[in-house]
Chain A
Amino acid sequence: MRDLKPILKTIKVRLMGPALLALQIAVTFTILVNAFFMIEQKEAMISKPSGVDEANIFRVLSNQPFPKEEYEARLDETIEAIRSIPGVQAVSMLNTLPLAGFGTYDELTRTPEGRRETWTATFMGSTDAYQTLGLELVAGQGFTKQDEITVAFEAQSHPSDVLVTRALAEKLYPDNWEEALGKTIYLTMIPHQIKGILAEMNGPWGTWFAAKISVLKPVRDANEVLPLAVRAEPGEIDVVMERVKEYLLKTPRRQITYLDKFVDIKAKNYQRESAALNTLWIVLLGLTFVTALGIFGQSRFAIMKRRKQIGVRRALGASQWHVLRYFLTENAIVTSIGILFGCVFAIVLNQYTVSHFEFNLIPAGYFVFGAAFCLVLGQVGVLVPALQASRLSPAIATRTV
């Protein structure tokens, strides 16, 4: 620590170099903390469980090329036929899938005219739809066949019993979510009883604020389109999809609008997030590279300017380690000053994003991580020039440079 005084003195005398470096570190730190925070948030969003048995589920949407009065009978017939296809574990009618990007939503209130508690994503399908998707029931009962109603228009469906997600139950009863069982809720002013609670069921929109708050109604919509969710035996999804397609196309005038795997649907839903993630990573990598290069270039230049001084110190008995330590310490001090400024910038920027983009506040842990990262980056950048400096021969002191 005896080095401290001369270092500070040098910084004061040759202000420009260190000031530039500190400023560069400050801006780097600002970007680093904010970008890394965004990355973490997006990663968390993309990797959260959807509740679905993701690998084995696919959906198929086809038309019903039959007269209106046959819709319901044909719907049952089609489901039965698909169920008997080898490799099909389960099949249900379901208006949309989690993360499919399209679906319906309801307004949830505790009384018909009450204040809105939340929006909910609303799924409608056969009574066994939650088993088909592989969702886990954590409280209450599943549906029985008597719960099911078949309608020809969504807006008209009023089943009494529904299943809700645990996130919805927690929204209503934060202290004890199991209390929600058996309670009546109003979905767009129509009363329903909560019959069971599902662990997870992601809504159709991945980035929606109420993405986890979902309702499943035992309602089948018998009309010209037939949306089905199918679960294949593990590892057989490709074959099963082909077989289902083949069966459906046996019917003349039948058309398949969608036939896609859940994993692809999910990837598509988060496509925007994934693309933003890639961009953030590229910025971070470029930044790290440029900053490290900058530290290297600058310290090399600073040390070249001081070769004669170093020679004098070596001639007066400073060891190689002393010289090395001197430059490492100097870099750490300049970096720390940069980090201090960087903290101020980062907080200001974060305040701005909080007020303009409804971002979250960055937790202190990120600042600690960012500081450590910048310090290590600085030390790595300065190491090679400092090592070169420490190997300078004391004889330099006797020459003119």
Chain B
Amino acid sequence: MFGYYLKIAWVSIRKTPLLSLLIVLTVAVGIAASMTTYTVQYMMSKDPLPGLSDRTFQIQLNSWGPEKPYGYEGDEERTTRHITLQDAKNLLAAKQAPLQTAIGEFAEFVYSEDQSFSDGIGTDIRTVTIDFFAMMRAPFLYGTAWSAEDDEAGTDVTIISKKLNDKLFGGVNSIGKSIVIGERQYRIVGVMDDWPMLPKFYGAPFEAYQPTRDVFVPFFNQIRHELLTRSELAFNCWTAPADDSIRAFFNSECVWIMFWVQLDTPSDRKRYLDFIFDYAKDQRQFGRFQRDGFHKMYSVEEFLLNEEVVSKDTRIGVWLAFLFLIVCLLNCMSLMTAKFHSKAAEVGLRRAVGASKQNLFAQFSCEILLLALFASVLGMLMTLAGLHFTKSAYSYLSAELMTMDVNMVLATLGLAIVATMAFGLLPIIKAIQVQPASQLKSQ
């Protein structure tokens, strides 16, 4: 029976090609608009560390001066994203979390041993402590993270990206070779594989959708060599350093380091927060931490929300696109009504020869289903085209945002079919109300 209905549906579509095409096209355009914007937002708000993000926390210490707070969030005092070097060292040494990392940065010219200084490329370099790679599930193409000894001593070792390895070493295994960072040779201990983490939550929010940095060196290497590029660094001071040397800046109350911890279970959060508060109390005997409380821990999700990593425009765009889909579907509904209206004679005839309303309902549903299938495939193709266009328009975002995962493909096809069927229901019900007798008279 189903096969027969599909056959009839196909015949009917062939009979009204223009109307059927319009229905399919309208749904497809609506689907493409809404799913393109939704895919981008969905990818933007993806969980960057599935399974770990609810126990990975950013630490905010309120080490601000006694005169006035750093700022306010509404009426509540708030503190900065960054902490001081003093606190980063203390938290690392306290080892109250199974995994923890301090994250800093500096800029330097980077080139290979065979190149000269003038070939160097100004590079923003990430400095991290060893746990970073395990915490963030960094993928390695060659080698591994540096050793715990190198981490503590701040040895001149580095981990580079696949992109830089391709550029400087033609993509071969470069472990043991060196790159030059500024004035010093750094031994390569690892090459990272492509790492499309979305969003890249562990650094500054404006970098969340930019590619991973090309060069990583131990955090304590930066401290040991006093490497700092103030013109490229986000920092904040409530009181000026003792003098204008980098050493004095490092020893000052200026904040510039991001600090993340990863706990065993989400419920350890309370314990770690208590530790932070105790730590702040302890620091008072040295005259630090004069302000009361407002130390915070943000889970990955809370941090991303708090920093508004997904822009308002993106979210509003999704709303508008879904409203647009509704316009398309309403439009479709009236087109379907028109389509079935021309079948009144057919309905009357079939009812007269004994077809029940249920039979007709099933038959017309098949017809809509067929249209919905066409619309979903076309909508899918148009969504892919839309994403391709978005890729070129939003060149500052990583291309990974404009890809669909399996969930999105299924959602697109499902939405197209369900929406078309739902909006087709009323026209079908109206169409099968035709009284058999009415078709025997003339209008």
Residues of A within 8 A of B (CB): 16-17, 20-21, 23-24, 27-28, 30-31, 34-35, 38, 61, 63, 95-96, 102, 112-113, 116, 151-156, 189, 223, 225, 227, 249, 253, 255, 257, 268, 271-273, 275-276, 278-280, 282-283, 286-287, 290-291, 293-294, 297-298, 300-301, 305, 308, 349, 353, 357-358, 400-401
Contact = CB atoms under 8 A, between A and B. Distances in A.
Contacts of A301: 334, 337-338, 341
Given A272-B396, A279-B37, A357-B315, A305 B341 contact: yes
Given A155-B254, A156-B240, A294-B330, A283 B320 contact: yes
Contacts of A305: 341
Nearest to B30: A290
Contact of A255 (B117, B237, B313, B324): B117
Interface string B140-180: 00000000000000000000000000000000000000000
A175 to B, nearest CB: 27
Given A17-B334, A153-B249, A30 B67 contact: no
A24 B426 contact: no
13 contacts: A31-B324, A34-B320, A102-B232, A113-B67, A227-B231, A271-B395, A271-B396, A279-B390, A279-B393, A280-B317, A290-B324, A294-B334, A294-B335
Interface string B375-405: 0000000000000001001111000000000
A115 to B, nearest CB: 9
Contacts of A282: 33
B394 A30 contact: no
Q: Which among A272, A279, A294 has the highest number of chain B CB atoms within 10 Å? A: A279
B352 interface: no
Nearest to A119: B71
Nearest to A253: B117
Given A257-B122, A353-B316, A31 B337 contact: no
A353 B107 CA distance: 40
A276 B317 contact: yes
B26 interface: yes
Nearest to B326: A27
B67 A189 contact: yes
Contact of B327 (A27, A151, A353): A27
Contact of B68 (A21, A113, A227): A113
A190 B24 CA distance: 66
Contacts of A116: 71
Contact of B118 (A21, A38, A255, A286): A255
Interface in B105-123: 107, 109, 117-118, 120, 122
A17 B430 CA distance: 11
Contacts of A293: 22, 26, 331
B443 interface: yes
Nearest to A65: B117
Nearest to B242: A156
Contacts of B335: 294, 297-298
Given A153-B244, A308-B443, A357-B312, A255 B122 contact: yes
Contacts of A21: 334
Given A20-B334, A300-B338, 13 more contacts: A17-B334, A20-B330, A20-B333, A27-B327, A35-B320, A153-B244, A272-B311, A280-B320, A290-B26, A294-B331, A294-B334, A298-B334, A301-B338
B321 interface: yes
B270 interface: no
From B237, B241, B331, B430, name the one whose CB has the most chain A CB atoms within 10 angstroms. B331
B415 to A, nearest CB: 17
A299 to B, nearest CB: 10
Contact of B240 (A24, A96, A155): A155
Contact of B320 (A31, A189, A255): A31
B172 to A, nearest CB: 27
Interface of A is mostly: helix
Interface in B309-366: 311-313, 315-317, 319-321, 323-324, 326-328, 330-331, 333-335, 337-338, 341
A31 B323 contact: yes
Nearest to A254: B118
Contacts of A113: 67-68
A290 B327 CA distance: 8
B29 interface: yes
A365 B244 CA distance: 56
B337 A275 contact: no
Contacts of A96: 231
A297 B22 contact: yes
Contacts of A16: 337, 426, 430
Nearest to A299: B334
A108 to B, nearest CB: 13
Contacts of A291: 327, 331
A308 B244 CA distance: 92
Given A151-B244, A153-B249, A27 B330 contact: yes
B229 interface: yes
Interface in B277-327: 311-313, 315-317, 319-321, 323-324, 326-327
B393 A287 contact: no
A156 B243 CA distance: 8
Given A297-B22, A357-B315, A290 B331 contact: yes
Nearest to B335: A297
B271 interface: no
A16 B341 CA distance: 13
Nearest to A294: B331
B15 interface: no
Contacts of A297: 22, 331, 334-335, 338
Given A24-B331, A275-B393, A255 B37 contact: no
Contact of B393 (A153, A255, A268, A278): A278
B267 interface: no
B442 interface: yes
Given A290-B26, A291-B327, A155 B241 contact: yes
